[in-house]
Structure 1
């Protein structure tokens, strides 16, 4: 994928708790679309460390130590252990810095992620970041952040993924804010919205498509 114009970067994080001063990122997922909400980023994710799968954007589990995971709040420990997610975190080979590099590489180039193993080995970080800093999309911060609960997501990225945070425009499209406005000002339309009880990025994009075709048409 190669972006040469303004675009939206949809971001979702899985974190270990509610305390923004102590949290760490367990998983980061991104999808890039244009402003017509047409998906841009599609490809095949392959790595020695990961299964081959079709993907709409990077969805990366970050490695953390068992001692750090054991310190999570009780709900997270119980829920993530039962789902198998704790084991995925322990098995992951990606540091947060690695994950930032993978995402930026994925966004700025038209290559698939078969370079992920080289990133983990630290072979291309320096060259990649030199390329990134010369890139117009990076320098002009042309990726507008979209998603839900963006206040906390922005804070987490600034603290824990500063390289990626600097990559993004200061403006945001927060689906929660649009939904609240729609409920108060366009109740009949709000009642017709597609509703799914999860924070999946694809569902957020579907919801904004609905608002785009009804309220913002």
Structure 2
């Protein structure tokens, strides 16, 4: 099992968040939180299973709260590891995950550890959306193997991949110059990269805060209202 209870404390705006329930001081930080999850699987088919999950919670400004959690999962049937396709086997071998799986915990125990961390920062169910890259795939595996976590999260998703795809079409220079990824297909590192990606696109392509005035927003809405 690997958990990030002993990982280095977050840096930058998130530093000290583990000791403060509201690190930004903004009341919205308590209500607009986001649960970031990344999973590693034996593949993407219906018969595949989770072998690692990590979670981080951020406030609405993308400040990371706490140190997160990362857990290696031992499948009930280790025989599934013999059926890995060559690409997945190479990926999990290169990352070091494959050799850790045998010593992992059950999916139920992994869910308990993730829920323990998430509830520290998101005490109320149904409030925080799930975020990540191509996160609908992760959500499908979570729903199948971690129903309590699935039910705890809001049904809406924040998919950084969608923003990347739109930026590629509308703001190609921003897309081309996005930060390079080097997470190495380990769950917690991949989450941190997803958060950094969203922070980049927020600054590179989104309207700068505080955004349009009410009148400006209404004017734009009127131009795009169907039937107007």
Task: Please report the TM-score for the alignment, with normalisation by the length of structure 1.
Answer: 0.72
Distance (whole Å) between structure 1 residues aligned to residue 92 and residue 192 of structure 2:
22
The CA distance in 1 between the partners of 2:87 and 2:197, in whole Å, is 28
In structure 2, distance between residues paired with 1:156 and 1:29 = 13
The alpha-carbon deviation at position 83 of structure 1 amounts to: 4.9
Which runs of structure 2 are paired with 1:54-203 in the superposition (5 Å)?
57-64=68-75, 65-81=77-93, 83-92=95-104, 94-109=105-120, 137-138=124-125, 141-196=126-181, 198=183, 200-203=190-193
Query: CA 1:39–1:69 in 2, change beyond 3 Å: closer, same or farther?
Result: same
Whole-Å Cα distance in 2 between the matches of residues 207 and 63 of structure 1?
30
Contact 1:11 1:28 in 2 (8 A): yes
Q: Specify the alignment match of 1:213 in structure 2.
A: 203
Equivalent residue for 1:13? 39
CA contact (8 A) 2:93 2:99 kept: yes
Query: Radius of gyration: which is bigger?
Result: 2
Contact 2:33 2:128 in 1 (8 A): yes
Q: Please tell me whether the aligned partners of residues 33 and 39 of structure 1 are also in contact (alpha carbons under 8 angstroms).
A: yes
- Whether contact under 8 Å (1:70, 1:77) holds in the other structure is no
Instruction: Confirm or deny: 8 A CA contact 2:129 2:158 kept in the other structure.
Output: yes
Seen in structure 2, the aligned counterparts of structure 1 residues 202 and 71 have a Cα distance that, compared at 3 Å, is same
SS state of the match for residue 142, structure 2? Answer: helix
Structure 1 unpaired stretches of 5+:
43-56, 111-134
- Runs of at least 5 residues in structure 2 that lack an aligned partner in the other structure: 1-17, 23-29, 209-228
CA contact (8 A) 2:35 2:131 kept: yes
Kindly state the Cα deviation for residue 196 of structure 1 after the two structures are TM-superposed: 2.0
With over 3 angstroms needed to count, the CA separation of the structure-2 counterparts of 1:38 and 1:82, relative to structure 1, is closer
The number of aligned residues is 175
Mean Cα displacement is larger for which, 30-39 or 188-197?
Answer: 188-197
Return the offset for 1:71.
2.5
Q: CA RMSD in A?
A: 2.2
Aligned mates of 1:30, 1:159 — CA distance in 2 = 17
Once the two structures are TM-superposed, the CA of residue 152 in structure 1 deviates from its matched residue by 1.1
TM-score (norm 2): 0.69
Residue 189 (structure 1) shift:
2.6
Local SS of the residue matching 2:178: coil
* Residues 136 and 157, structure 2, Cα contact 8 Å, conserved in 1: no
User: Does the CA contact (< 8 Å) of 2:39 and 2:138 recur in 1?
Assistant: yes
